[in-house]
Structure 1
Amino acid sequence: MKKWLLAVVTAVVLAACGDTDTAEQSSKTTEQIIEEGTIGFEVLGDSIEEATNVPEAEKAAVIAAFNEYIDAFNSGDAERYGKTTAVNAVGFDYEQDVAAYKEYFEQYDYIIKTAEDVTITKYSEDEVQLYANVTTKLLEAGSDEELSDHGRQVTVFVKEDGAWKVTSIHYIGNMN
């Protein structure tokens, strides 16, 4: 997840400079994710299909877990944030992720994520993939200039100790 924040900041800076290589790299990354099958749908285009096999109670639990993940991230509370992520995560090392989270909030006055179009796109009893359009705003400590990035995110959840926890995140920033 540390790489994600660096990618957000890099994408914002390079987008402002009109770096076409970054757009090409983003496209290659999208193709790689699709080819490897790590997410259950393409994140290109405007149509996102909701999974139809999600029991209502599980849907509510996953969306609540996602909302807590976003709220915990925004809070600056590393302990709270750590409770939203899987200890045995696939996409990151838990200890490194929590340590990186603490560093972020030392370097930035704030980092705020907001999510729209939250949709469960793939469901099984063991794993859920949740799509959202995510906007991240951050203000570097000692600066008065807010940076912002908007992209498409698939947050993958697994059940750990009976609760849905974030195990990996796939993010593609919009280059506009």
Structure 2
Amino acid sequence: MRYTSNHKAETRQRIIGEAARRFRKDGIEGTGLVPLMKALGLTHGGFYAHFESKDALVQASLEAAAEQTLERWQAPPAADPPARAVIDHYLSTQHRDEPGDGCPLPTLAAELGLRGQPSATADAMVARMTALLGDCNLAAAPGDEGIVALAAMVGALTLARAVSDGAASDGILAAVRAALQPAPPET
């Protein structure tokens, strides 16, 4: 059976696409190469014709997922303010319930940090999302301050572990630490 000249490139893209979906849904460690390749109708041995290692696939998949996410969340020109569309979609039940199609940061940032493999792709994604959300005000409703602070702290630590730029990592921690000011004690 003869394959077209671009068959190998198309197969590689199929592997990346499926891996990006599975990594976002099940995590890196929760995604095995054998089930991944089997789902695509390919053999486990064939994986190595496209990637030198699972880590190489993780990086290619993270890049693809980041590109897909950032394209989806470009605020429409008419959005007022532009960050509102990003916030509403990001914090929607649909995004929560469909991690395989969503932002890779909630699943992969923690795992990259735990694996000790920060990523320049995470750096770029954090920078782009930060720019999109730059005009936000952090204003918790009365009684919600604790959950907003906790979410900010968990998110900051997760992102700080995932980015490869040490200065950016320190900046994430410092920015959130400065933004979270405990209320003065009641007298």
Bin for the TM-score computed over the shorter chain: under 0.3
| Structure exhibiting the larger radius of gyration computed from Cα positions | 2
User: Which structure's residues are more often helix, by fraction?
Assistant: 2
User: Which structure's residues are more often strand, by fraction?
Assistant: 1
TM-score normalised by structure 2 residue count: 0.21
TM-score normalised by structure 1 residue count: 0.22
